[in-house]
Amino acid sequence: MNAESDQRQGGSEPAPRAAAGADAQAKEPVLGSRAPHFIKRSRTLHLSWQVGVFVVGLAVVVVGIIMLPLPGPGWLVIFAGMAIWATEFVWAQLVLAWTKRKVTEAAHRALDPKVRRRNLILTTIAVVVCAAAVSVYVWKFGVVMPWKIEQ
C-alpha cells in the first residue's frame, strides 16, 4: 500500500480488500491522462501538455506512415506513436488495447496446427505458380541483361 491510500483510510492499517473486486480492478487498465499531478492541477498547463503529446504522437505516426513504402519499421513506429497518444488520450488507449487484443488473437490462431498447415500449403502453391510464371516468361522472352541492350 502506498502512503496516499493509507492517509485516506485514516490509519496505517491496510484497508481490507474484497477478493473478487480487488483482483478485477487490478487487471483493468486505468484510462485517462498519465500526466504528472502538478500538470493536472492547472487547466492551461494540462491543455498545453495534451497539445504537446498530440503533436509529438502525430509526428511519430507521420514518420511511420512515411516509412511504410520506404525501408524501415513503419508499423512499429506507427504503434509507438499510438502508445505516445495513449499516455494522454482515452481514445488512443482504447484503440491500442483493441489492437493488442487482435494481434494476440491472430498469434494464437497462427499457432493452430490446422492453420499452419493451410498456410504452408497456400505458400507452396503460390511459390509454384510464381516459378511457373517466371519460367514461361523467360522461355518466351528470354533473359536480357540491362547492360547488354542494343539500341
Each domain of the chain, given as residue ranges in start order, spans: 29-138
Q: Comparing 36 with 88, which gets the higher pLDDT?
A: 88
pLDDT at 136: 93
The SS3 call for residue 107 is helix
24 contact partners, CB below 8 Å, separation of at least 6:
none
Considering only residues 150 and 85, tell me which one the structure prediction assigns the higher pLDDT.
85
| Full-model pTM | 0.52
Instruction: Give per-residue burial for 40-66: e unless 16+ CB within 10 Å, then b.
Output: eeeeeebeebbeebeeebeebbeebee
Return the closest-CA partner of residue 88 out of 58, 122, 133.
58
The residue among 102, 62, 67, 61 whose CA lies nearest residue 84 is: 61
- The per-residue pLDDT for 143 is 80
Distance separating alpha carbons of residues 101 and 115, to the nearest angstrom: 19
Q: Does residue 148 surpass a pLDDT of 90?
A: no
- The most distant pair of C-alpha atoms in the chain lies apart, rounded to whole Å, by 92
Rounded mean pLDDT of 131-143?
Answer: 90
